[in-house]
Structure 1
Amino acid sequence: MNIKHIAIFSALWFITCTAFAQDTLRTNEYDVIKDFKPTLSEILKITSNPNPEVPEVKAPKLDYTLPETRLTTDATVYTIKPLAMGTALLPKLKSNYFKLGYGNYNSPVIEAYINTVRNKTSQAGVFAKHLSASPSDNVQAFSDNQINMWGKRFLNSGMLHSSVSYTRNVIHLYGFQPQSLNLSESTLRKQYAAIDLNAGYSNIIKDTSKIKYNIDLYYYNFIDNKDMKENDFKLTGTVSKYIGGNPLKVDLGVNTNTISTKTFEYNQVLVTINPDYTLSINNRAFVMLGFNSTIFSDSANGKLYFYPEAEIAYQITPKTITAFAGITGRLIKDTYKSLVNENPFISILNINKTDNKFEFYTGVKGEIGPQTSFSLQYSLATVKNMVFFGYDSVSLGQEAIYDTTNSGLSNVKAELNHEFADKFHFNFVLNYFSYSLAIPAPYGRPTFTTRTAFFYNLGEKIIIRADAYTMNKRTGIEVPSNKEFNLKAITDLNLGVSYKYRKNIGLFLNLNNLTNNKYQRWMNYPVYGFNLLGGITLTF
């Protein structure tokens, strides 16, 4: 062994011997019992407060430099092709037409209408029609003929208008007659002819503070084949002006009427002055005040008739529902022509004037929707010389019967309208009348009527029209015996169809009195039963 190894071995042996020479350690345990008192050491506080530094913000100063450089561009012009205009801008209106047709009861119809259209300075037109029927018995034959011409001239200051018409109507007094009479067709024939003339002028104002006016002149000559003649001349005018933002209107008129035969002559003169003023309150309420006055003179005497007039209206909902009430009155001139227009079978002429002394009315009207409107009204009037009609067994015609006392007349009227552009129209009107008379009954007149009209345009090719008319039973009277009769209720249904076969060619078919009810509108004068009329229409 070398000296290094001997030294290491000797050291390890010495350490081992020393460890074994130690005594064994004692394991004594001690318990210490004492109250626990926690103590906290003093906290070292920071004596300085925070003082954050506020940053300094400065808006930067910007300098812009625009280069002085000019851009040169060459314009490019494109030619735009115009839309097709020419005659396509305003297509020609085919308002002119010619109608030709035929029906049972040997009924031809010829009708024509020609009118100038789209003229800025003038307008004129003409209408002509012939309709007749010749049943087998020939006593119910009739003929209606008319031709109307009119014209308008548009000026910078106003408009001139004029019209002339001629009508010729033939009927027969085919009322009940005993076989023993055996009257000829010429004896029963009644023929009426009338010429009507009208001319007038109305100014155009651009400033509502100016006076607006119009003036009209009317004249007609009415004759029959029994030597009855009537000439009527009337001059009317209206002047209106806004005062305080509300309209003041005055209607003026002068009317002369002469009825004559070979044995007598009856003259009437009427001068009317009817002013009214309408006050608007917040565009919701309206008050109208005025009066109707007539100076009347005839072959017997003269008299002034005065009627107060007033109306108040309030829009319950703006521009849709309006409630109204008012009073009025007027003098109605009866003429031979007006009586014939209502009852063409007049054979005994009684002429009187109807005095509507006082009338109260109230109601509500408005719109239910954009295409639907309605009206509901009640009126109560006191009328003197109300006219009715009875059958005269001597002349076999109709006679006017007047209730010469102050009669009472009340009326309830309801109306409903609905339309959708030119595609659909509907109208319904109902009337209920109640009479308080000195005579036993309102001879010839109903107490309840309805009228319904329907129009439908199907694709501009087919047009359907329909209407229905109803009337309750009435009381008729035969004079001079004064025997009364009951006239049955009336239901009259009609249907019309038009078909556009070509661009300018159309076909039509009218079916009248579909129920074949030969009712008597006037006593002893039954109407035709079911009848049809069809033909062709040319437009140009």
Structure 2
Amino acid sequence: MKKQQYLAVSLLALGLLMGAGNAMAQKDSLKLKQEVEVVKAYQPSILDAQKINDIPQIKPEQTEAPTFDYSIFSKPVFSTFDPTPVAAAKMVGDPKEPMGLGLLKLGFGNYLTPYGELFFNAQPTKKSNFGMHFSHLSSSGKVKLLNEDLVKAPESENTAEIFGKKFFRKSTLSGSLAFDRKAFTYYGYAGDRLSDALKEEMIPHYQDKQYFSKGSATVHLKSETLSTAELNYDFGAKYHYFISKTGQTEHEVVLSGDVSKNIDNALGLLSASLTVYKADSIMNRFYSEFGKKQQTILRANPSVMWSTENASLQLGLNTAMILDIDTDADFKIWPKVKAEWSPVPQVLTLFAGVDGHLQHNTYSSIAAENPYADPYHDVANTNYKYIVSGGFKGKLTSKTNYVAEASWSAIEKQHFYITQGSQIYNQSSTYRRLNNTFDWVYDDVNILRLSAEVMHSVSDNFSVHLLGNYYSYDLKTQQKAWQMPNFDITISGIYKPMEQLKFTTDIFVIGSRSALIRDFSNLSLFSSAIISDNEIQLDPIIDLNVGAEYQFSPKLNFFAKLNNFGFQKYEQWLGYTNKGLNWMAGISYSF
């Protein structure tokens, strides 16, 4: 078996390197670019609507299959990025605006929250581009839990990144080095208010500190030819090292290659990757003991696409070979079908698709999804057996874009987070321990999702974006989709009454959720455990946020933000109450 694994890995790596050796390139955009890996708020987005653009030019659109994202609604203490306004149409050939060297943003808010961010980009040349990005955001305030207990909840996020590009005649070579660190404490707990002594006895991780540090390096070689008659490619290599305060480490290497070329009247596409993954100091799910996890995943996704002026059809397969040192090799295959038809171009487009894939649940991805998960977690991969979707999109008017979509997903081995407790009986006393880190249960689930999205430009100075999702869960063994909402709504707006002044608003509405506390009780040392489940209803969330920005001069701006000005107290995860009203004010200076 090991010889077969080494042979498969070697063949794919050789193929990627040979493909990379045939490539050289150039890039048309030299603008400063920031690439940030973030924890997605629980707002599963449907296909991005085409930006309002009245230029009479038809561009091919790709319909992305929906995916299931467990992460519930969550966001930083302060949102330091503004929503993206509706882009104004520009005539082709407009001269580019001159670039500055960088941007510095500084701010401060309540909860003892300093914020700083620096972007620097060397003046680009015809052959290269280079930039850097650094940021810091932290908070040292206290949070009042739903049981009125006031607890310390410090947290911080730090990011450093350098990136560059080298432009060749037909391709671009790009690379980056990045480091990010997130630090926090396990400040929350479910249930009644407790004395400090009882907290120490009953809540294993109460006020324990945690951090997640991740360093990464990426290299990409991408063709920049527009002709489909030539071979188009994007070859990449990525490595990251991850470490936590509790001692877990992770190494991941990903080699990837995407190629496409016209074959007669069709476009042939191939996406392939090799992932080598290793984690240490985790609780191995196969042996229930501390140890390592090591996996190798080979993916190959071939497809063929036919296109006309107002229709397209893509047929293919997604495949994955999973090699795990703790179990037998596993090969999976999924269908891949995408179809679009525009009976009225730019006004109405119908789309449908069938898809499926393997979700690789690494230690770092679970830590990003739920930072309060048990720090020794080893979560199994999730199999999206099939995702059937369809809908329509287009323009209602020249200023209004829309998308409506329905999807049905069949998911195997989906994890759901629960809280675990233990009731211990002995001769001298009875006591209960209730975790404030999350365990998980698995289930097979079918998910119906109905989505709608509208982007409307009221005027050149006022735009509104609405996004709504409804979810219905059909589970095999679990009673509920624990801590998952039945709907979510996002409303964003930008208003610019004058050239120097801009207002923004974001409203997040999340439906009610059900959480589970599972207790294990022992009547004696020789008796088997008795399991009792207690369902907790989490209230809906309505989070109101506004911001303002004033341009004092072409280089100096002032900004202010109010988050959660509706003063709602809610739990993002059971026991973890959000911060109340928080504000930030600051300046930004471009140079």
Per the shorter chain, which TM-score range? 0.7 to 0.9
Partner of 2:530: none
Q: Note closer, same or farther for the CA distance 1:461–1:288 as it changes in structure 2 (3 Å cut).
A: same
1:151, 1:142 → 2: CA distance?
Answer: 31
Partner of 1:148: 161
The answer (yes or no) to whether the contact 2:374–2:439 under 8 Å persists in 1 is: no
- The reply to whether residue 436 of structure 1 matches residue 474 of structure 2 is yes
Shift of 1:207: 4.5
Q: Note closer, same or farther for the CA distance 1:422–1:191 as it changes in structure 2 (3 Å cut).
A: farther
2:151, 2:113 → 1: CA distance?
Answer: 12
- The reply to whether residue 287 of structure 1 matches residue 313 of structure 2 is yes
Partner of 2:253: 233
Shift of 1:219: 1.1
Q: Note closer, same or farther for the CA distance 1:336–1:479 as it changes in structure 2 (3 Å cut).
A: farther
The answer (yes or no) to whether the contact 2:361–2:380 under 8 Å persists in 1 is: yes
Larger radius of gyration: 1
The answer (yes or no) to whether the contact 1:175–1:396 under 8 Å persists in 2 is: no
2:214 to 181, 191, 194: 194
1:368 to 396, 408, 414: 396
Between 323-332 and 519-528, the greater mean CA deviation after superposition: 323-332
Q: Note closer, same or farther for the CA distance 1:269–1:531 as it changes in structure 2 (3 Å cut).
A: same
SS of residue in 2 equivalent to 1:226: coil
Partner of 1:388: 416
SS of residue in 1 equivalent to 2:188: coil
1:485, 1:420 → 2: CA distance?
Answer: 42
Shift of 1:181: 3.5
Question: TM-score, normalised on structure 2?
Answer: 0.72
SS of residue in 2 equivalent to 1:346: coil
Shift of 1:302: 1.3
**Higher relative contact order structure (alpha carbons within 8 Å, sequence separation ≥ 6):** 2
Within a 5 Å distance, the mapping from 1:416-495 to structure 2 comes to 416-419=454-457, 423-437=461-475, 438-481=477-520, 482-495=533-546
- The reply to whether residue 222 of structure 1 matches residue 242 of structure 2 is yes
Shift of 1:238: 0.5
Shift of 1:312: 2.1
Q: Which runs of 4+ in 1 moved over 6 A?
A: none
Partner of 1:403: 442
1:124 to 123, 127, 130: 130
Shift of 1:95: 6.2
2:589, 2:358 → 1: CA distance?
Answer: 46
Shift of 1:370: 3.3
Partner of 2:327: 300
SS of residue in 2 equivalent to 1:235: strand
The answer (yes or no) to whether the contact 2:408–2:446 under 8 Å persists in 1 is: yes
Partner of 2:557: 506
Structure 1: where are the runs of 5+ without partners?
A: 1-88
Once superposed, what is the RMSD of the aligned Cα atoms? Answer: 2.2
2:185, 2:434 → 1: CA distance?
Answer: 12
Q: Note closer, same or farther for the CA distance 1:329–1:388 as it changes in structure 2 (3 Å cut).
A: same
The answer (yes or no) to whether the contact 1:291–1:309 under 8 Å persists in 2 is: yes
Partner of 1:50: none
Within a 5 Å distance, the mapping from 1:13-92 to structure 2 comes to 92=98
1:347 is aligned with what amino acid? Answer: D
Between 395-404 and 524-533, the greater mean CA deviation after superposition: 395-404
The answer (yes or no) to whether the contact 1:389–1:398 under 8 Å persists in 2 is: no
Question: TM-score, normalised on structure 1?
Answer: 0.79
Partner of 1:331: 358
Q: Note closer, same or farther for the CA distance 1:430–1:344 as it changes in structure 2 (3 Å cut).
A: same
SS of residue in 1 equivalent to 2:366: helix
Partner of 2:585: 534
2:465, 2:122 → 1: CA distance?
Answer: 31
Partner of 2:271: 251
1:318 to 319, 340, 345: 345
Partner of 1:67: none
1:116 is aligned with what amino acid? Answer: A
2:102, 2:230 → 1: CA distance?
Answer: 39
Shift of 1:228: 0.7
Offset from partner CA, 1:443-498 (integer Å, 9 cap, x none) = 11101001112123343311211101011110011234532101000000101111
Structure 2: where are the runs of 5+ without partners?
A: 1-94, 143-149, 283-289, 422-432, 521-532
1:517 is aligned with what amino acid? Answer: Q
1:162 is aligned with what amino acid? Answer: G
Between 347-356 and 210-219, the greater mean CA deviation after superposition: 347-356
Q: Note closer, same or farther for the CA distance 1:154–1:422 as it changes in structure 2 (3 Å cut).
A: farther
User: What percent identity do the matched residue pairs reach?
Assistant: 24
Partner of 1:23: none
Q: Note closer, same or farther for the CA distance 1:157–1:312 as it changes in structure 2 (3 Å cut).
A: closer
Report the count of equivalent residues: 450
1:499, 1:175 → 2: CA distance?
Answer: 38
The answer (yes or no) to whether the contact 1:444–1:476 under 8 Å persists in 2 is: yes
Shift of 1:111: 1.2
2:97, 2:199 → 1: CA distance?
Answer: 61
1:174 is aligned with what amino acid? Answer: Y
The answer (yes or no) to whether the contact 2:228–2:260 under 8 Å persists in 1 is: no
2:400 is aligned with what amino acid? Answer: T
Shift of 1:120: 2.0
SS of residue in 2 equivalent to 1:379: strand
SS of residue in 2 equivalent to 1:337: helix
1:421, 1:268 → 2: CA distance?
Answer: 53
2:555, 2:198 → 1: CA distance?
Answer: 53
1:213, 1:395 → 2: CA distance?
Answer: 52
Q: Note closer, same or farther for the CA distance 1:91–1:306 as it changes in structure 2 (3 Å cut).
A: closer
2:227, 2:160 → 1: CA distance?
Answer: 39
2:228 is aligned with what amino acid? Answer: T
2:578, 2:226 → 1: CA distance?
Answer: 53
The answer (yes or no) to whether the contact 1:391–1:524 under 8 Å persists in 2 is: no
1:420, 1:297 → 2: CA distance?
Answer: 54
- The reply to whether residue 158 of structure 1 matches residue 186 of structure 2 is no
